[in-house]
Amino acid sequence: MDKAINRQKVLLQHLNPSQSSSSTSLSASACLAGDSAAYHRTASFGDDVVIVAAYRTALCKAKRGGFKDTHADDLLAPVLKAVIEKTNLNPSEVGDIVVGSVLGGGSQRASECRMAAFYAGFPETVPVRTVNRQCSSGLQAVADVAAAIRAGFYDIGIGAGLESMTTNPMAWEGSVNPKVQMFEQAQNCLLPMGITSENVSNRFGVSRKEQDEAAVESHRRAAAATASGKFKDEIIPVLTKIVDPKTGEEKSVTISVDDGIRPNATLSDLAKLKPVFKKDGTTTAGNSSQVSDGAGAVLLMKRSIAIQKGLPILGVFRSFVAVGVDPAIMGVGPAAAIPVAVKAAGLELDDIDLFEINEAFASQFVYCRNKLGLDSQKINVNGGAMAIGHPLGATGARCVATLLHEMKRRGKDCRFGVISMCIGTGMGAAAVFERGDSVDELRNARKVDDLYLSKDAR
């Protein structure tokens, strides 16, 4: 009890203006009360990195879907343009554009991203670069921009993601260094992702039925979200073309709906599918993520700048981590990364209201969910990659848009959200976000049911 009372006294001192100051205004500073029921913030309120816009394209099946004849730069340009037009921001104020991309050739993809920025109306003075941390590249781009803003390199930036798996299929180019044979973990970096999925299911006992059930639920939720119009808040329609492969005839189309969702998916249907990677395995085309084309973009800035411009705040960037795991079971990455990211934000798992965990494979998704003891009603509430798709470099940006728009819809019932994914070669990434309108300048962490500042006093 004494401990809690002392903490209250410290907090009250922050609320009282200095006796020696002639100013009567209050200023926020880092609270020293040590409240473990709250998450800590070392930066001042106005220095928070916030998200004011987050949009994506629809995600379409590679080689067969709506973007099969769309150039990669034509996927990225519409979302870059959207974050500027919908916020009425002068594009010349953007300090950097960072684009996560995995499969596109290094210098070519970098050039395509620069070209897309010009299509979207950015002046030559705004720089562009790419980043590749495999499946977390889009989230890494957002984190890189947030870090640069915090470091004072610039006040406004865009983190984006792009992948055309139609144009750039997954393949190894050139020979493999024979030295890899001397290092088992290095060898395991070359394992097909499907084999790592089988390793997870075998090692941790994730059954075929559990995997198929997760896939059916993903499609059910995604279909329900589409039917109710939820994704309209985050999807930017893209005017493009479809070429008839038989006649060569071109037709103009506007793509605004994810085309890989199967509303009528059933367990009995999935049970008929044969394993893809091992004869006696459990990983099938039905319980794996879809190979997709798509893009997303997230506009970040200092809170003080957003307030100055009168922009509504969609979310607050709180923490990000990337961790390493055994390459042979790379799918366990989220189970390792999420607790670290949550702790870095000064939170506990029970504080998180929503999770977006990339469904690279049902095996790893089910394992991570069970390992962390997460409530399935909090995870991928609008479906995940098994239904919506997984355009590698764009997935992180897609998840930011999906998570923050859902948090906005839920309002006060949803304060904190987490995005996480596994990463090829054995890593995991996770980030914590806070709903944009849930923080006041005195930075109370959350409503409590008693008068104590900390649960330590209970």
Domain membership flag for residue 452? no
Is residue 450 pLDDT above 50, yes or no?
Answer: no
- Which has the minimum average pLDDT: 9-23, 211-225, 229-243, 366-380? 9-23
User: What residues are labeled active site?
Assistant: 135, 390, 422
With respect to residue 100, please indicate whether it lies within any of the assigned structural domains.
yes
Distance of alpha carbon 83 from alpha carbon 313, whole angstroms: 13
CA–CA distance, 419 with 438 (Å, rounded to integer):
18
List pLDDT tens digits, range 303-326.
999 999 999 999 999 999 999 999
Higher pLDDT pick, 21 / 39: 39
Q: What is the mean pLDDT of residues 170-194?
A: 92
How confident is residue 133, by pLDDT bands cut at 50, 70 and 90?
very high
- Asked if the model's pLDDT at residue 28 lies above 50, the reply is no
Residue 187 lies in a domain: yes
Q: Which two tokens stand for residue 341?
A: 């990211």
**Does residue 396 sit within a domain?**
yes
Q: pLDDT for 377-413, tens place per residue?
A: 999 999 999 999 999 999 999 999 999 999 999 999 8
**Residue 4's pLDDT is what?**
54
Question: Which tokens is 107 given?
Answer: 């210098």
> What's the whole-number mean pLDDT along residues 53-59?
98
> Is the residue at 23 inside a domain?
no
Report the pLDDT value the prediction gives residue 317, as an integer from 0 to 100. 98
Any idea what the CATH number is for the domain that residue 329 is in?
Answer: 3.40.47.10
Phi, psi of 174 (to 5 degrees): 85, -175
Secondary structure (3-state) at 414: coil
pLDDT band at 44 (very low <50, low <70, confident <90, very high): low
Mean pLDDT of the chain: 89
Residue 458 has pLDDT above 70, yes or no: no
Its domain, for residue 273, covers 47-168+183-433
Higher-pLDDT residue of 447 and 352 is 352
Q: What's the whole-number mean pLDDT along residues 269-284?
A: 96
Q: How far apart are CA 172 and CA 29, in angstroms?
A: 51
Position 455 pLDDT exceeds 60: no
pLDDT more than 70, % of the chain: 86
Q: How many domains does the chain have?
A: 1
Q: What is the pLDDT of residue 9?
A: 57
**Amino acid 170: pLDDT:** 82
175 part of a folded domain: no
pLDDT score of 296 more than 70: yes
Tokens of 365: 């998704």
Task: Tell me if 368 is assigned to some domain.
Answer: yes
Does residue 30 lie in a domain region?
Answer: no
Provide the residue count of the chain. Answer: 458
